[in-house]
A and B are shown apart, each in its own frame.
Chain A
């Protein structure tokens, strides 16, 4: 269905999730991010989780204002979403993730 999804079968998605500390919000975001990646690009993604307290340089280099922030750096263009990723459809649309094959949803 999606041209991007079909053309990008060999593309590896580079994703970074910036969270702040070990909060509920961070835990929720990490769980949601993993679920989304597994669902949409299983086997061809790298998801890094960065706690900004551990690596504050990301604040400037990646311009992180709000946490959690999920940044997709590959494939271009660089896209980002903020929030705990509970609204999955928004994340998928914004980050241009491949559409989910109907098989899994049906089962």
Chain B
């Protein structure tokens, strides 16, 4: 027995429940959590209080956790993870939130419970010894509960109350209370007693998780949802196209907004992880910082200095166009700056990639040795879509890279329907963006037309590089162009993509009347242009000489003209000086003539002045 002596039952509860009023709605309960969007977990004053579960993703989906001090129903078919989810809720409550818990097991024995969750790293025995946890296995004695009249469940209630008191529990799990329906035949009494049990849990203000089996055509086999109406979580376990996917849905959350989608979840090595598809609500922190691509010419093509940090880059192209090499060069450049890179390879092993890349002068081994580059090589079919996503989460969480490469993501297409694949990619991109990880995905295309998955991906991708081969002139050559680059003044030019012994180089292609020329045709064209250039230089020199001659000729002509001008000017000057003495002469002559004619001097002078004015005018 537990150390503390339990308190006597409040008998008043029984009357309340027997009258059929199992749940009374208080003013506090109808207050809506108006903080709104999923993921904002700080409730406003007066809003519904929530208890964080600590289960990865579940708190985002529920907008902060389960309703505090109230029971939550978790239902689903056998083997969907109900018990585990409930146990993780308790254990995380103890470990992360310092809230002691009680686990009442109707089905599994305590030894089974301990060993079942030991694989997840939960040491229940230690938590019990430390006084944080009570595990209580209630044996319902199937077939040994002959009813001989009225009864109640005071024994169970007291047992629960004593367990809660023993550790001061804030969280309680009852797994699976429907087992009682197998033990008792008088369901009328049982239902009234269950109502009393849930009222009791509310009275004790414990946040409870009640598990129940899913029934045919109803949520639970025995209608437990009738009693637990604050929050209902439905778990499911479906197999589509030979792939088993567990899903979780919040069917109901009274007084709170919640995500309404079906969210995949996985039972991994560290417990349950729920993956909210749209948990991020496009609220990533964006960066204007650039990540050099490792190819200086490509940096120039992208405007100024490479990909945006935290952006999603997609390199698509047909087979053998150098997608992996492009990715490897980006990795090499990133590692050279001392940043960590995680390379997910889905069709090559680490050693193959390292060997193949060293042939073009990209030496990745050094970065693996220094721990800056980590390869994760596996076939996507090994895990399935959801498990793959979790694996990516786990690896990225553990390694914390600044760049993630996935080569190639087109391998996923065979894993599910295109809707599933694009949902996976959406979540993956969201996850990486939220962490500020720059991601580079390659994808193999078979035709010039983008695949359906690629089309769906378009909206996810910030920068899309297309590599392809151009055939002609008896050879095929790689070209690269930027199909899309959000927020960048990117080049619209096609560049030839050369794999040299020191990595990738981009060079101009020749665009002429014959179309785009690459490879030897481009070289020939370049040689031709060089020859043409020499001729042009000669012509230019000739023109310069001609120009000089012309200048000399112009100078000579100008000199002649200046000479003529000077002569003219001398004459004019001479004439001007002679002109002034001539006037005096004419005045003298008139006077002399006047004297000769015997005219009156004064009269003559007046008349002479007038005539002078006229002449001047």
Interface residues of A (CB under 8 A from B): 18, 20-21, 23, 25, 28-29, 32, 52-53, 56-57, 59-61, 63-70, 79-88, 90-91, 94
List the B residue with the shortest CB-CB distance to A60.
B1
Closest B residue to A90 by CB, please name it: B148
Report if B9 contacts A (CB, 8 A).
yes
Q: List 19 A-B contacts (CB under 8 A).
A: A20-B9, A20-B152, A20-B158, A28-B149, A52-B154, A53-B9, A56-B158, A65-B156, A67-B155, A80-B145, A81-B146, A82-B151, A82-B184, A83-B150, A84-B149, A85-B149, A87-B147, A90-B146, A91-B148
B383 close to A (CB within 8 Å) = no
Nearest-neighbor residue (CB-CB) of A23 within chain B: B11
In the complex, which residue of chain B has the Cβ closest to the Cβ of A20? B154
B159 contacts the other chain (CB 8 A) = yes
Contact B151 A67 (CB under 8 A): yes
Instruction: Name, among B144, B149, B153, the residue most crowded by chain A CB atoms within 10 Å (CB to CB).
Output: B149
Q: Which residue of B5, B146, B151, B154 is within 8 Å of A84 (Cβ)?
A: B151
Residues of B with Cβ closer than 8 Å to A?
Answer: 1, 5-6, 8-9, 11, 138-141, 144-156, 158-159, 162, 184
**Chain B residues with Cβ under 8 A from A63's Cβ?**
138-139, 141
The CA-CA distance from A66 to B9 in the complex, in Å, is 14
Q: A52-B158, A59-B1, A81-B147 are in contact. List 11 more A-B contacts (CB 8 A).
A: A20-B158, A21-B9, A25-B151, A32-B149, A56-B158, A60-B159, A66-B153, A67-B152, A82-B146, A82-B147, A83-B147
- Contact partner of A66 (CB less than 8 A), chosen from B1, B162, B184, is B184
Closest residue of chain B to A61 (Cβ to Cβ) is B1
A52 to B160, CA, bound (A): 13
Question: A21-B11, A53-B8 are known contacts. Are A64 and B148 too (CB-CB below 8 A)?
Answer: no
B271 CB → nearest A CB, Å: 30
In contact, A57 and B1 (Cβ under 8 angstroms): yes
Chain B facing A: main interface SS: loop
A68 to B5: give the CA distance in the assembly, Å: 20
B155 touching A20, Cβ below 8 Å = yes
Query: Which residues on the A side are within 8 Å of B162 (C-beta)?
Result: 56, 59
Which of B1, B145, B154 lies in contact with A67, CB distance below 8 A?
A: B154
Q: Which 10 A-B pairs have the closest CB atoms?
A: A20-B154, A86-B149, A84-B149, A83-B149, A83-B148, A64-B155, A57-B1, A94-B146, A67-B154, A83-B151
| Closest B residue to A69 using CB positions | B155
Q: Is the interface of A mostly helix, strand, loop or mixed?
A: mixed
C-alpha spacing A87/B154, complex, angstroms: 21
Residue of B nearest to A87 (CB): B148
Closest to B138 in A: A65
A contact residues around B146 at 8 Å (CB): 80-83, 90-91, 94
Chain B residues with CB below 8 A from A83, complex form: 146-151
A64 to B154, CA, bound (A): 9
Contact at B141–A80, with CB atoms within 8 Å? yes
Give the docked Cα–Cα distance between A68 and B152 (Å).
7
- Which chain B residue shows the least CB distance to A94? B146
Residues of A within 8 A of B156 (CB): 65-66
Question: Could you say which residues of chain B place their CB within 8 Å of the CB of A52?
Answer: 154-155, 158
A82 to B122, CA, bound (A): 37
Return chain A residues, CB-CB under 8 Å to B138: 63, 65
Identify the closest chain A residue to B8 (Cβ). A53
Known contacts A53-B9, A63-B141; decide if A82 and B148 are in contact (CB<8 Å): yes
B140 cross-chain contacts in A, Cβ below 8 A: 65
List of B residues within 8 angstroms of A91 by Cβ: 146, 148
Enumerate chain A residues within 8 angstroms of B139, measured Cβ to Cβ: 63
CB-CB nearest in chain B for A89: B148
Given the known interface contacts A56-B5, A57-B1, the answer about A84 and B150 at a Cβ–Cβ threshold of 8 Å is yes
Which residues of chain B are near A65, meaning CB under 8 Å? 138, 140, 145, 153, 155-156, 159
Residue picked from B8, B140, B184, most chain A C-beta under 10 Å = B8
Alpha-carbon distance between A90 and B140 when the two chains are bound, in angstroms: 19
Q: Taking A23-B11, A80-B144 as contacts, is the C-beta distance between A66 and B152 under 8 angstroms? A: yes
Bound CA–CA A68/B155 (angstroms): 9
In the assembled complex, the Cα of A32 lies from the Cα of B150 at a distance in Å of 12
- Contact call A79/B184, Cβ cutoff below 8 A: no
| CA distance in complex: A83, B11 (Å) | 18
Give the chain B neighbours of A56 by CB distance below 8 A: 1, 5-6, 158-159, 162
Q: Given that A81-B146, A82-B146 are known contacts, is A59 also in contact with B155, CB under 8 Å in the complex?
A: yes
Central interface residue in A56, A79, A86, A90, by most chain B CB within 10 Å: A56
Residues of B within 8 A of A68 (CB): 151
Residue of A nearest to B156 (CB): A65
- Interface centre among A32, A65, A85, A86, by most chain B C-beta atoms within 10 angstroms, is A65
A82 x B1 contact (CB < 8 A): no
Q: Give Cα distance in the complex from A97 to B427, angstroms.
A: 67
- What CA separation (Å) do A66 and B268 show in the bound complex? 39
Please determine whether A66 and B144 come into contact, CB atoms closer than 8 angstroms. Answer: no
B254 to chain A, nearest CB (A): 30
Contacts of A88 in B (CB 8 A): 148
A21 to B149, CA, bound (A): 18
Provide the residues of chain A in CB contact with B149, threshold 8 Å.
28-29, 32, 83-87
Chain A residues with CB under 8 A of B8: 21, 53
Contacts of A60 in B (CB 8 A): 1, 159
Which of A21, A57, A84 is B148 in contact with, Cβ under 8 Å?
Answer: A84
In the complex, chain A residues whose CB is within 8 Å of the CB of B147:
81-83, 87, 90
Are B148 and A81 in contact, with the CB atoms below 8 A?
yes
- Nearest Cβ in chain A — how far from B578, in angstroms? 149
Q: Bound complex: CA of A82 vs CA of B153, how far in Å?
A: 10
- Is the Cβ of A53 less than 8 Å from the Cβ of B148? no
Instruction: List residues of chain B with CB within 8 A of the CB of A61.
Output: 1
How far, in angstroms, from A78 to B502 measured CA to CA in the complex?
A: 86
Contacts of A57 in B (CB 8 A): 1
| Residues on the B chain within 8 Å of A69, using CB | 151, 155
Distance in angstroms between the alpha carbons of A29 and B147 in the assembled complex: 12
In the bound complex, CA of A84 to CA of B184 (Å): 14
From B144, B151, B153, contact of A79 by CB (8 A): B144
